[in-house]
């Protein structure tokens, strides 16, 4: 008989680790392109601005997947949803690898973004089926796997792109998705659904959740603004470091992702401090660290040390903001965990897409100073929201 997870009974450590690792592998598909944008631009004979549409399109796809696919986790068997999405991912990644032009890549990138949302099925699992005292810690563990995948993806794609070409990276990613299917089928137990009704009723309930929960609206928007600031850095870092005075290759650009791994590994620690410090205080800390990181990367923009220190600090700041706000959101309506996470993460990635778009636009107009201005502005707006709202 298949094992079934039950609420408040606790999630086995082996399953948590498995989900955290798969989360990292699947979310990495969104970020392989970032260290490769300069070589993709050259290979496809398009401008830097046009190449920057690839990560933006991927993030828009992710937001669409969050909005229309993640709620299904409350209605249907989650394991079936995960397997179908990983199959579609394998197809879209193979398509990117063999794409003849930018238009085909943009279409496949949209599908890749839509189907890369599975970590946002795993996070509600960790929250809903954990013991109450372990919820924040276990969510932090999922986010740690997520962030390690994001940062590690840049390192790996930078190295692979430098020595074997950018298309090779996408072939490897497609094979990894096929491997994840077998792991999910073997490891993930059955889980009871949270919603009885039709898909239309399920989607309509999203609007009710947004309307009735002002705290959910607040935590989603301020986290989204900080994520936009965070992705502003990675949207233009390859362009900055490939120019003067660095003239860095994709392997060097990708290796800078290792600087953030140290920060990503602190995610579970941040999760354990949510109850001790509170969501509001962690937002003050996180936004301040993000603004500080941008100041460092502006003052020391001609040195590697400036970017290394800045990347470590901005990653720690981002974790303070995301984990505190996401834990708060998931605690608001536990019986609708997937739908709450849909609202939170859709808003979150709309913020990321906004940051990516603004970064490309201001890089084109003002170069690095414009990018820094965008990053600081978004973090300041998030900080202001926290300051002018009640507890």
Q: Which domains can be identified in the chain, with CATH numbers?
A: 13-188+197-387 (1.20.1250.20)
* Enclosing H/E stretch for 35: none
221 with 347: CB under 8 angstroms? yes
pTM value surpassing 0.85: no
Residue 390: CA atoms inside 13 Å, Cβ hemisphere, count? 2
CA 48 to chain centre: 23
The pLDDT of residue 11 is 67
β-bridge partners, 190: 4
CA atoms of 166 and 51, how far apart (whole Å): 13
The pLDDT of residue 205 is 86
**Terminal CA-CA length for the chain:** 47
The pLDDT of residue 17 is 86
Residue holding tokens 């890369």? 116
CA atoms of 75 and 78, how far apart (whole Å): 9
238 with 34: CB under 8 angstroms? yes
**Beta carbons within 8 Å of 388's beta carbon, 6+ residues apart:** none
Is it true that the peptide bond before 193 is cis, omega within 30 degrees of 0? no
The pLDDT of residue 1 is 32
Measuring CA to CA, which residue among 72, 57, 65 is closest to residue 26?
Answer: 65
CA atoms of 378 and 227, how far apart (whole Å): 9
114 with 62: CB under 8 angstroms? yes
Whole-number Cα distances in Å, 64 to 57, 112, 115, 145 = 11, 11, 9, 22
SS3 198: coil
The pLDDT of residue 97 is 92
The pLDDT of residue 2 is 47
The pLDDT of residue 59 is 81
The pLDDT of residue 158 is 83
Please report, in tens digits, the pLDDT of each residue of the chain (391 residues total).
345 555 555 667 778 888 889 989 999 999 888 888 888 888 888 887 888 888 889 988 988 898 888 888 777 788 889 999 999 999 999 999 998 889 999 999 999 999 998 888 888 777 777 776 677 777 777 877 887 888 788 788 888 988 898 899 999 999 999 999 999 888 887 776 767 778 888 888 888 899 988 999 999 999 999 999 998 998 888 888 888 888 887 677 767 767 766 666 666 677 667 777 888 899 999 999 999 999 999 999 999 999 999 998 998 898 889 888 988 888 888 777 778 888 998 898 889 889 988 998 899 888 899 999 999 999 999 999 998 886 5
Q: Which runs of consecutive H residues, i.e. helices, occur in the chain? A: 13-27, 37-44, 48-51, 53-68, 78-97, 102-115, 119-128, 135-164, 166-187, 199-212, 214-242, 250-255, 257-264, 267-272, 274-277, 279-299, 304-332, 337-366, 368-387
158 with 39: CB under 8 angstroms? no
Biggest CA–CA distance in the chain, Å, is 62
CA 257 to chain centre: 14
Q: Annotate 40-69 with b (16+ C-beta within 10 A) or e (fewer).
A: bbeebebebeebbbbbbbbbbbbbbbbbeb
The pLDDT of residue 268 is 65
The pLDDT of residue 300 is 94
Whole-number Cα distances in Å, 372 to 77, 203, 297, 359 = 44, 38, 8, 9
344 with 226: CB under 8 angstroms? no
SS3 249: coil
* Enclosing H/E stretch for 130: none
β-bridge partners, 69: none
Q: How many CB atoms lie within 10 A of CB 365?
A: 9
Radius of gyration over every alpha carbon of the chain, rounded to an integer in angstroms: 20
């Amino acid at each position: 008989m298949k094992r079934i997870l039950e609420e408040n009974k606790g999630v086995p450590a082996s399953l948590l680790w498995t989900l955290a690792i798969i989360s990292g592998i699947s979310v990495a598909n969104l970020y392989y392109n970032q260290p490769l944008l300069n070589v993709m631009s050259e290979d496809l004979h398009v401008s830097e601005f046009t190449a920057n549409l690839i990560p933006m399109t991927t993030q828009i796809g992710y937001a669409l997947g969050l909005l229309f696919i993640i709620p299904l986790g409350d209605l249907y068997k989650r394991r079936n949803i995960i397997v179908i999405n990983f199959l579609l991912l394998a197809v879209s990644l193979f398509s990117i690898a063999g794409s003849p032009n930018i238009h085909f890549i943009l279409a496949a990138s949209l599908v890749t973004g839509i189907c890369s949302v599975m970590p946002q099925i795993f996070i509600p699992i960790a929250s809903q089926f954990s013991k109450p005292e372990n919820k924040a810690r276990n969510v932090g563990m999922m986010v740690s796997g997520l962030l390690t995948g994001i940062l590690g993806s840049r390192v790996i794609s930078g190295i692979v792109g430098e020595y074997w070409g950018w298309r090779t990276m996408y072939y490897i990613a497609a094979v990894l998705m096929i491997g994840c299917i077998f792991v999910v089928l073997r490891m993930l137990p059955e889980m009871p659904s949270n919603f009885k009704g039709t898909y239309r009723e399920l989607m309509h309930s999203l609007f009710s959740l947004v309307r009735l929960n002002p705290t959910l609206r607040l935590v989603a928007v301020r986290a989204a603004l900080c994520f936009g600031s965070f992705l502003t850095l990675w949207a233009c870092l390859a362009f900055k470091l490939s120019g003067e005075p660095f003239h860095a290759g994709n392997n060097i650009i990708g290796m800078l992702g290792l600087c953030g791994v140290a920060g990503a590994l602190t995610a579970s620690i941040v999760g354990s401090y949510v109850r001790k410090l509170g969501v509001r205080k962690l937002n003050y800390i996180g936004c301040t660290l993000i603004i500080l990181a941008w100041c460092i990367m502006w003052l020391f923009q001609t040195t590697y040390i400036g970017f290394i220190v800045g990347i470590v600090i901005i990653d720690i700041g981002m974790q303070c903001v995301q984990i505190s706000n996401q834990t708060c959101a998931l605690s608001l309506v536990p019986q609708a965990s997937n739908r709450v996470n849909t609202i939170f993460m859709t808003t979150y990635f709309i913020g990321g897409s906004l940051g990516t778009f603004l970064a490309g636009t201001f890089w084109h107009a003002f170069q690095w100073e414009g990018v820094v201005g965008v990053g600081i502005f978004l973090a300041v707006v998030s900080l202001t929201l926290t300051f002018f709202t009640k507890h």
